[in-house]
Amino acid sequence: MSGEEAPTQQREEPEQQVKKAEEPKPEPESPAAVKPEEKMEEEEEKALSSRALVLTGYGGYEKIKLQVKTMKAPQLRSGEVLVRVKACGLNFAELLGKQGLYELLPAPPVIMGMEGSGVVEAAAEDVKDRKVGDRVIAMNRCEMWQELVVVPAKRTYLMPEEMSFEEAAALPVNYMTAYMMLFEMANLRPGKSVLIHMAAGGVGIAATQLCQTVQDVTVFGTASASKHETISQGGVTHPIDYRTKDYVTEIRKISPNGVDIVLDPLGGSDTQKGFSLLKPLGMLIAFGAANCVTGQKKNLLAMAKTWYHQLSLNTLKLMQSNKAISGFHLGYITDEELFDRTVLKLLELYRQGKIKPRIDSCYHFEEVAEAMKRMHERQNIGKVILLPEPKKSEEKPKSNADAAENVEKNQAVAGEKKDEAVEEVKAEKD
C-alpha cells in the first residue's frame, strides 16, 4: 500500500532487543565499545526501565500495548547512541501499520514509531559528534515509541536551542516529505499554484509553510470546514471543504486552467481528479492512499474501491497530455546525503523562523488509543505527539476507556523473568 516512511534501518526485532539487553555484561577487556563516561560502569550495573508501545497484532487500538521492560544498559555497537526519548511523532503510516497496510513495518510484535526527540544518554566510543546530554532529533524505521532507544548516531540531528522536544518530534517525517516533494521533485518556483490535500494534517501544514518560503505561490488546501480559519492563517490561499463541495469545481471557479502541482496523499479517484486539474507541464505527486482508511480497522471495500479507481494511463497518453506524474515515499529514500541535506535545510528554515511545526495535541503513552482516534476521526490540526513520560496522577484524565485497557505492566527484570517478557509479547501475535 502506500504510506510514508521512515528513513533508517531497523535495529532488531523487539524480541532480540530484549534478549540483547539481558546478555551478560562483557568481560572487562571488551567494554571498550562504550565511551568511558563518568560512572558508566556503575550505570551498566543498574537495571534500566523502559516503557514501549508494542503492536502485538493487526487490528484495532487494543492491539497496541504499553509494556514496561527492565533491562541492563544496552551494549552499544559501532556508530550507535542510546537516546532517552522525550517525545515521539504519530504518523498516518502508523494508522496503516496497525491495520497491516504498511509494508515497511516489520510483522508484530513490533515497537512502532519512526521519529522522536530526546537526550543522548550514551554513545559508542567511535561516535565523535554526539555526546551525553545532547538534545537530538532521532529517526528510525520503527521502534521510536519507547523511552530508551538505540539508533545510529548518523540518524540523529542536534536540536536548535529554542526548539521544544514536541516540535523536534513533529519535524522529520512531515517536513522532509513536504520538502522533498515540493523542491526536489516538483521544483516549486515563484508564481506557481499547488493543491494540498489533508491541508490541516501534519504533512499538509508542513507543505503550506514551505510554500510560503517561495514568492507568490497560491495554495489550494482541502480540509474539513472547521479547520479553515487555522489553515488560512497558516498560508492556505483557498481552503476548500472537500466534504460538502466538489474541490475540482471550486478550484476551476478560481483558476479555470487548474494548478501546477498536486500533492496527492489520497489515491483512487482523487488521483484521477488531481491529474485532470493539472495545467500543461504540471506535476502530480502520489504519496499516499488515505482513501483506503475509513476507521481503526481494515476496510476491504474501501481498499478495493481505491484500487479500482486508480489512475491508469499509458506513456503515449501521458506524452500527449504534457503532464507529469511521480511517486514519493520517504521510507525508500536511501541516499544519505540527500537525507542529511534535507534535515539540515529544514533546521536552518526553523532557525530563521520560516517553518514551525504546529502541535495539535500531546498524549502520554497510556493514551495512545485516544491519540490514534483523534487522527482517525479527523480531528487533528497539525501533529499528534506521544509522550513516553508516565501520566501524572493529578493530571485530568482524558475520556479514554481504551487507554487503561492497553496498559500492560510487563515488569521483567533482566536475568530473572526474561522468558516471560518475550513470551507475553509472542502470545499476542497468534
Question: C-beta of 4: minimal distance to ligand NAP in Å?
Answer: 2
CA distances (Å), 4 to each of 32, 366, 430, in order? 38, 25, 27
Given 54, 163, 293, 385, the residue binding ligand NAP (CB under 6 A): 293
**Strand ranges in 205-304 using DSSP code E only, listed in sequence order:** 218-222, 238-240, 259-264, 278-286
x/- contact string, 185-214, with ligand NAP (CB under 6 A)? Answer: -------------x-xxxxx----------
Those residues whose C-beta lies under 8 Å from the C-beta of residue 196, and which sit 6 or more positions away, are 204, 207, 208, 211, 219, 220, 221, 222, 236, 263
DSSP-H helix ranges across 146-246:
165-170, 172-179, 202-211, 228-233
Is the Cβ of residue 289 or residue 422 nearer to ligand NAP in the bound state? 289
Question: C-beta of 77: minimal distance to ligand NAP in Å?
Answer: 28
Between strands 383-387 and 80-90, the pairing is antiparallel
Which of 144-152, 284-292, 316-324, 419-427 is the region at the interface with ligand NAP (rule: CB under 6 A)?
Answer: 284-292
Q: Taking CB positions, which residue lies at the least distance from ligand NAP?
A: 201
Grid coordinates in use for 273? 481528479
x/- contact string, 261-280, with ligand NAP (CB under 6 A)? Answer: ----x---------------
Given 157, 165, 247, 328, the residue binding ligand NAP (CB under 6 A): 328
Question: C-beta of 198: minimal distance to ligand NAP in Å?
Answer: 4
x/- contact string, 216-255, with ligand NAP (CB under 6 A)? Answer: -------xx--x----------------------------
x/- contact string, 403-422, with ligand NAP (CB under 6 A)? Answer: --------------------
What 8-state DSSP symbol labels residue 207? Answer: H
The footprint of ligand NAP on residues 160-179 (CB under 6 A) is 173-174, 177
The footprint of ligand NAP on residues 335-394 (CB under 6 A) is 375-376, 378, 380
By three-state DSSP, how is residue 79 classified?
coil
135 neighbors 158 (Cβ within 8 angstroms): yes
Grid coordinates in use for 131? 555526546
Q: What angle do CA 53, 58, 62 make, to 5 degrees?
A: 55
Grid coordinates in use for 396? 485530568
Question: C-beta of 201: minimal distance to ligand NAP in Å?
Answer: 2
The single residue listed with the C-alpha cell 501520566 is 391
- Which stretches of the chain bind ligand NAP, using CB under 6 A? 2-5, 91-93, 173-174, 177, 198, 200-204, 223-224, 227, 265, 287-288, 290, 293, 328-330, 375-376, 378, 380
